[in-house]
Every structure is written in C-alpha cells, then in structure tokens.
Chain A
Amino acid sequence: MKSPPLIRELVRATNTEAVLWRAEDLLLYEYDALSVMRQPEAVVFPTTTEEVVRVVGIAAQQGVSVIPRGAGTGLSGGATVAERGILIALSRMNKIVEIDLENQRARVQPGVVNLDLSRAVEDAGYYFAPDPSSQKACTLGGNVAENSGGPHTLAYGVTTHHALGLEIVLSDGDVIHTGAKFWDRPGYDLTGVVVGSEGTLGIVTEITVRLCRLPEAVKTLLAIFDRVLDATRTVAAITARGITPAALEMMDGFTLRAVEAATGAGYPIDSAAVLLIEVEGLREAVEEQAQAIEAVCRENSAREVRCARSEEERALLWKGRKNAFGALGRIAPNYYVQDGVIPRTRLPEMLEFTAEVEKRYALRIGNIFHAGDGNLHPLIMFDARDRSECERVVRAARDLIAKCVEMGGSITGEHGVGVEKNELMPLIFSEDDLEMQRRIKGVFNPSGLFNPGKVLPTGKMCGELRIQIGAGA
C-alpha cells in the first residue's frame, strides 16, 4: 500500500517511525477514556518543538485540522477526532528538561506523566501538587489542557495554580512563550488563558511547573456514617469551622462496597457513606486540625472516625479512592461518569435528587465526590448491549447536569468540555460571554486549525450531551 501525499510530507517533516497512517493503526486512535469517535487521517509522534512546528505547517497548508493528544485518559472526548484531522500525539515528548529545586520548579515536555514528575523529585522532598486520580497515566500536557485537579485541589488548587509558563505552537507555526519562571508575571496572564483550553488554542510543547515541598506531617481520617445525609452535612460543617483540609472526599455505600471488593483497603462495607479527610502541614497544626475535624464529624453523627496508623494504611485508603471508577467498572460492563459542580452547602439536596434520578430511569448510580469543592462524579452503571438502557443513561446524565446548573454550579469540574459538553455551554454562559471566548480563540487559532468541534458550542445539538454511549465497548 502506497502512502498518500499528506503522509509522505509528514514523514519528511519527522521520520518514518513517527507517523501512523495504516487503517489497522488508526483504528486505535478513535477512542479516549470517554467514548469512541472518528478515526484520524494520521497520527504523528513528534519529539521536538521544531517537529511540531513543521507538522502544524503541513496541516495548515493541506487544510486538515490538528488534534493534540496526551495519554488519552480524558473523559470528555478531547483527544479524539470530532470532524476530520490528524492527531499530534505527545507521548514521545516525555523528557524532564530541567529540575531546579532551589527555585522549586521544573521544566518538562508535555508528554511527561504526572506521577513520573513527582517520583523524580520525591527523594529531594518535592512533588507536583495536582493529583488527578489518573495521575499514574495522564500527561502534564493533558493536565494543562484540561486544567486538571484531584483530591488535593481543595488546599492546593488546580493545574493553573502550578503552571508557571508555557511554550506553545500556534496555528501559523509561531512559537510563543507565556508566563515566566516566577510567580509574578507582568502583562496579561496568557498562561491562564491557555490552561484549560483543551487543545483548541495551540499545542503546548513545554511547561514550567511549580514544585511543592512534601509536607512535614500528614494525617488521614476516615469518617464513617450510617446516613448519607449526615456525611454531606459534615462537609459544609468542616469548612464552616474555618478548617481547610488538604483533601475532603466522599463515597457512598454502593461505591465503597465496590472499592472494598477491589482494593481491600478496609472501608466499612456496611456503612451508608464515608468521608476521606486529609490534613497536612506542620506536625502540631496537623494534630490540632485532625482533632477539630473529628469533633465535627462526631457532632454530625459519624458512627466512627478512624485514623490511618501507617503510611501503608494511608496509601491503601487512597488507592481505593483513586481506583474507585475502575472498581465500579467491575460491577457493570460499562459506566458513564459525570462531572458537575455545585456549592458544597447543597450536597444533601443534590444527593436526594440523584436518588430520584436513579428511580426515574431505573439505573444504578454510584456517588463519588471531591466533596470539599462540591465537585460531583456520579457514575451511572449500564450494559452497552442494552440500547434502551444507553438512552436512559444519557437522559439521566443530562438531568444531573441541569440540576447542577440550577443550583448555581457548573457543567464540569475537571474533566473538561470536549465534544461531550460543548453544546451545554449556553446553560452557564450568555451569548456575550461565549462571543468573548470565540474572539479569544480567534486570536490564538484564527483558522480554526486546532481541535475543531470542541469546547465552544457548534449549535448543532443545542443543550444536549454529545456522547455515543457504549460505542465500541
């Protein structure tokens, strides 16, 4: 089989091993962690910024769009092809370029895996704070594009708080540098604009990140409740006391039974809900905070408050939590995870509503929350072979998101908009708001070369979730 002209040019711009174009290979780039979409026309694996520039140039000249891809763990279809285009996969740009411990920062290529960066600096007592549950696989480029967070977002913020500067390839092939090596950067915050842009403004080819010092002491508490309502009330009560834990996670009984079966971390399978709470900092302060939190939990009818006694016990509790999606994946053949945000004071109400939705559509929904930030991850279980069930799943998800918006929340907390939720954007932004966003996109990406059909509404399916559930599974 002879390669088409586009492929020959891409090979010339990189090398033979850097371009995939055969049907059997492209088949494997039709999915990310959300769903199955279209196949790209080619996948290119650059190793340098110069190669990215050349590839972007060829694509612009030939009029095919370009979709950046990290590890493909995204949950909103961002790294798949919505219309037509080639993928630029950054998995081989995975070098840590520089570690500068004195100034608590590192310069990395975008394909470096989140956890690999923390591992590289842990011996020196540092780590990269944003800790998405997918951190052992997802790339820093993907984290920047999605503005990812994790359980420790509550105290440390999301990726945007840890990205100091970026190198970006624009659609005309220009390479720009945003931010600085320091916190204080003069001028407009272009780093802030690009973080969270989901690959629609440019290809991030280098990232300067902030490294945090590992805390002196960490304490992990597990509060166990017999009523879900008590657990959700406790969340607001803790923060109302002016305590900000490093992490404040909630799992309902259904979820934690699955987690316990999968990990055996010691979660109480007979309870209705648990809160996983972590405090960290200086030793004395941690002790004090832990005691205060325990008191609040007990005031709110916690049946028991346990404290992890060793690093292993703590690691196991977190392993259970971080593997929770997968653990529920063991129960039903498929799941659809939603990602919404509400004010944390309204958690009790939201849970009641979720239970109603479960009944309305005859579905099982597991509840996992980054409760401290009011970020919900209802996991809707289903079997993709049952078409009617698939339809009900999408309707249920839609209802949940609509409720988040109604409560003054948002359509996504951390998984991004992608192709899944771009038609929902009008639910939270006015036409003027959206127009401003379109204009910003027009400045960075005037030809619309990068990741078309994502983030901003196309107006084709207004107000609907765009997901083909269960496809390919």
Chain B
Amino acid sequence: MNAAEEKHPVAATQAAEAPQWEHYSKCIHCGLCLNACPTYRLLGVEMDSPRGRIYQMIQVEQGRLRLGKPYAHHMDLCLNCRACETACPSGVEYGRLVEAARSEIERAYRRPWAERWARKFFFDYLLPSRRRLEMAGNVLRMFQRSGLEKALLTSGVLKIMPGRMDAVARLAPRMEKPFFTDWLGRVIPASGGRRYRVAFFAGCIANLAFARLNEATVRLLARNGCEVVIPKAQGCCGALHVHAGLRDTARQLAVANITAFAREGVDAIITNTAGCGAVLKEYPILFERADREWHEPAKGFSARVKDVTEFLASIDFCQDFAPVKARATYQDPCHLLHAQRIRSAPRKLLAAIPGLDLVELKEAEICCGSAGIYNVVQNEMAERLLAAKMRRIDETGADMILTANPGCLLQLRAGVARSTQNQRRVLHVVELLDEAGRKQELT
C-alpha cells in the first residue's frame, strides 16, 4: 500500500543533485569547524574533517579527485551529526552538502556486492514497508525471547565472525509488544479541555522498538490539552535514505507522508525522534531539483513539524509533576541540537520537575556515535565515540541519563550495559515527564 513499495527506475534525477556551487562556495576553509567534528577529533586528519570533506566535494566537482573508494569512505565515515553547522560562522549547510555528495556517490560509484545487497534489503525492501517491518520485528522478538539471542551473545560465536558482528549484535533494539502499529489510525482525545489538535508522527522502526515511548508521547500530549491524531497512511520518514544518498526513495516516502498528513487540520505534526524531525523539516530540500510540483506542499508540511520538546516548551505546559529524586544529565541529540537548533526546550521541561538535579554534561554537543545506523555500519568509530561519551557521563556522577531521541537511547543504553559503574537509567525526556506526571496523578 505504500507508494515506495513499487519498484523505481534508475536514479536519473540524482545527477542534478550533486553538491552545488551556491552551497559549497560559502565555505571559506577557515577550519573553525574542525574541533567540533567527532571524526576529526578522533582521527585528526583533514579528510575526515568538515572542511576537508567539503574540499573533497569541490575537487570531485572540478575533476581533480576521482569519485572512487577513498572519497566514498570519507563521506561514509561522516556521522551527518551536523555539529560543523553549529560551529561554522559562514553558515555552510553541511548536511545538505553531504547528502548531495552521497546521492552522487550512489549514482556514480559501485559499492562491493555484499554492501549493495545489504543496503538494498534494508533501505528498499524493509524500511518503506510497514508490513515487512512488522514481520521482521516479530521474528526478531521470537529470537530475543527464545533465549537464542542471549545464547548467541554469550557463546562467543560472534566474536570469531568477520567484521564486528559481536558488537553490532548487542545494539539490536528490544522488540516491544504490543507494537504501536495498533494505534495508527486512532484519534486520542485531550484530557481536560482541548487546547490543540496535533498529529503524531510515529516513525517506522519506533513502532516496534519504541512502542512504549510512542505511547508515552501521545499520553503526555493528551495530558497537555492536545487531541492527538495518528494518521494511518503515514510511514517511514526517509531520513536514513536521505543520509544514505537514496533520494528517490526518500522522495516517495516524503510524498506519502505529506499526503497522509495533508488531510488533517492540525496545529502541529509532532515527533519524538530528532532524526525524523530534522528530515521532516527539510522535506522541501528534496524537491528543489526533482518533482518540483511537491515543493510547495512540502513547505506547508514542514512548517508544521515540531519536535515534542519544542512543542511542549512553546505552550503553557502542565507542570504538575511528582518529585523525582535523581541526579541527571542530558545528552543533546545531534539532530535536535545541530540540525534543528533546539537546545533550551528539553532543558526547560526538565527544570520543571521538582527534585531533579540536572548537571550539565561536558561535550554534550558531541555525537554519542549512534547517528542513525552509523553504529552498525561504522561500528568501530561509533564505539570510540561511545567510550568517550561514557567517560564524560561518569564524570557528572549522574544516576540518570536523559536524551531526546530513540537512536541515542539505544546507544547510551549499550554504553551503560557494558560500563563497570553502577547501572543507570537511560530515558527519553518524554518518558520522564510522562512518568513524573502520572505519578503525580496517582497521589
């Protein structure tokens, strides 16, 4: 039923989507972005710095550098965390550049077969289809519950497998039954008087792996006077496709979502996932050079998209919380902080919880290594970033770690699980707000 499930012809439009002069010429190679870049901080080489990556794009455009394996490697190693955008005084839109570069790589560079196959399966077959995702989710859940997964992880079998199977397997999210897919198509009434009518963007994998978080988000919105519509025809946002350079598929997914939400007269379209939010807000960019007729509808759609923390902080949100006795710290999700420029909203919400001692995390603006599926495809780099992150978290002495994006939750939970320090709770800001709010209602 998803438009994206149909096969699509060769990506002819992507040729026009290479990095454009009007965007890369803004880079004055000043280097002020270097130390903000997680890969540069670890490797210290220009090729893996924002300035160097932009320079490589320019050299490819000018024919001085071959669009080959080394180029693809440096572009792949980029987390697309966009910390360089925050650091850049010249307003270089790096995210747009790297996404364009990757689309060009997709068109002109042939990856090794195993990688091609895996990408095809994941991006074209799995993500765009709710039915297939759900099937895969059920299989994974059986595997997790049967004890097979545990057996496999403890057996050490994975350690002798090629690549980094062992580390990667540990990142697989828990499948949370009942899936949130049951909620699609429903309208949840506001508790108390209705002040807003909002639509909830539920995501794709999140419906299976973050079903409880999605429920908490909807509950919290309802508690704040929102009638919540959950359109049935919505699907994957396409963020991972945009990051991977698969713009044609991304456009199909975008069109499906724009259409699904267009029917609803709502004040805002709300997501609890920073990565989705960033791309949903940037849908118009996808239609700048292809399928132009969707550019205006995309603008209308994107203008209504709000991160859940952004939305709540902008309204007179319900501050009736039970006290939470905890020392907590907050890690900024890159796509919230750098892509959407949202910093104060989650902090403002947390500050309203009585008893919560929020200590600022040093280097909170640096990626934890999660970055979409980066921790799977670039596992070694991701592990190094996670280790650095956990050291900083340990320094805070926090017994609760907060963030605002499911991908970061998975990564940080993996970090906590292997840490030798006390086990700490890792929560989405929404989960804590929901928990403290409900506790208060009970008392």
Contact = CB atoms under 8 A, between A and B. Distances in A.
A325 B55 contact: no
A89 interface: yes
Interface in A1-54: 20, 22, 24-25, 27-29, 31-33, 43, 45
B46 A329 contact: no
A72 B55 CA distance: 14
B154 interface: no
Contact of B28 (A111, A119, A324, A335): A335
B33 to A, nearest CB: 7
B26 A330 contact: yes
A27 B31 CA distance: 16
B89 A326 contact: yes
A115 B41 CA distance: 14
Contact of A27 (B34, B40, B59, B87): B59
Contact of A71 (B34, B64, B66, B89): B34
Contacts of B35: 71, 113, 115-116, 136-137
B30 A73 contact: yes
A73 B31 contact: yes
A20 B45 contact: yes
Contacts of A72: 31, 34, 46
Interface in B66-93: 66, 70-71, 87-91
B217 interface: no
B89 A262 contact: yes
B44 A92 contact: yes
Given A119-B362, A326-B88, A28 B46 contact: yes
Nearest to A43: B45
A372 B66 CA distance: 49
B415 to A, nearest CB: 22
Interface in B278-327: none
Contacts of B362: 119
Interface string B32-50: 1111100010001111000
A138 B90 CA distance: 17
Given A24-B70, A31-B55, A329-B89, A111 B31 contact: no
A29 to B, nearest CB: 6
A24 to B, nearest CB: 5
Contacts of B34: 71-73, 137
A125 interface: no
B114 to A, nearest CB: 24
Contacts of A89: 44-45
Interface in A88-118: 89, 91-92, 94, 111, 113, 115-116
Contacts of A473: 25, 28-29
B30 A134 contact: yes
A473 B52 CA distance: 13
A323 interface: yes
A262 B30 contact: no
Nearest to A47: B44
Interface string B228-265: 00000000000000000000000000000000000000
A330 B91 CA distance: 7
Contacts of A25: 45, 47, 70
A72 B29 CA distance: 9
A137 B33 contact: yes
Nearest to A120: B362
Contacts of B89: 262, 322-327, 329
B92 to A, nearest CB: 9
Nearest to A36: B29
Nearest to B362: A119
Nearest to A473: B25
Contacts of B44: 45, 89, 91-92, 94, 111
Contacts of A335: 28
A334 interface: yes
Contacts of B28: 33, 325-326, 329, 334-335, 473
Nearest to B53: A28
A408 interface: no
B65 interface: yes
Contacts of B71: 24
B103 interface: no
Interface residues of B, number: 32
B35 to A, nearest CB: 5
Contacts of A31: 29, 55
B154 to A, nearest CB: 33
B67 to A, nearest CB: 11
Nearest to A113: B35
A335 B27 CA distance: 11
A215 interface: no
Of the listed residues B26, B34, B35, the one surrounded by the most CB atoms of chain A closer than 10 A to its CB is B35
B148 to A, nearest CB: 38
B56 interface: yes
A89 B40 CA distance: 13
A442 interface: no
A31 B28 CA distance: 11
B36, B47, B65, B90 interface centre (most CB from chain A within 10 Å) = B90
Contact of A24 (B30, B66, B90): B66
Interface string A323-358: 111110110011100000000000000000000000
A156 to B, nearest CB: 22
A333 B25 CA distance: 6
Contacts of A32: 29, 31
Contacts of A472: 29, 55, 58
Nearest to A70: B31
A136 B45 contact: no
B64 A27 contact: yes
A274 B196 CA distance: 45
Contact of A330 (B45, B64, B90): B90
B44 to A, nearest CB: 3
Contacts of A324: 89
A31 B66 CA distance: 19
A315 to B, nearest CB: 13
Interface in A296-341: 322-327, 329-330, 333-335
A94 B55 CA distance: 24
A138 B26 CA distance: 20
Task: With a 10 A CB-CB cut-off, give which of A22, A113, A136, A324 has the most chain B CB atoms.
Answer: A136
Interface string A61-102: 000000000011100000000000000010110100000000
Contact of A28 (B26, B30, B52, B87): B52
B31 A329 contact: no
Contacts of B66: 24
A119 B395 CA distance: 14
A137 B52 contact: no
B36 A136 contact: yes
A136 B32 contact: yes
A262 B35 CA distance: 21
Contacts of A262: 89, 91
A73 B28 CA distance: 11
B70 A33 contact: no
Nearest to B68: A24
Contacts of B45: 20, 25, 28, 43, 45, 89, 91
Given A31-B29, A333-B26, 12 more contacts: A24-B71, A33-B29, A71-B34, A73-B34, A89-B44, A89-B45, A113-B35, A134-B31, A327-B90, A330-B90, A330-B91, A472-B29
Interface of A: 20, 22, 24-25, 27-29, 31-33, 43, 45, 71-73, 89, 91-92, 94, 111, 113, 115-116, 119, 134, 136-138, 262, 322-327, 329-330, 333-335, 472-473
7 contacts: A27-B56, A31-B29, A89-B45, A91-B40, A136-B35, A262-B89, A322-B89
Q: Which 7 A-B pairs have the closest CB atoms?
A: A326-B89, A91-B44, A323-B89, A28-B46, A329-B90, A326-B90, A73-B31
Interface of B: 25-26, 28-36, 40, 44-47, 52, 55-56, 58-59, 64-66, 70-71, 87-91, 362
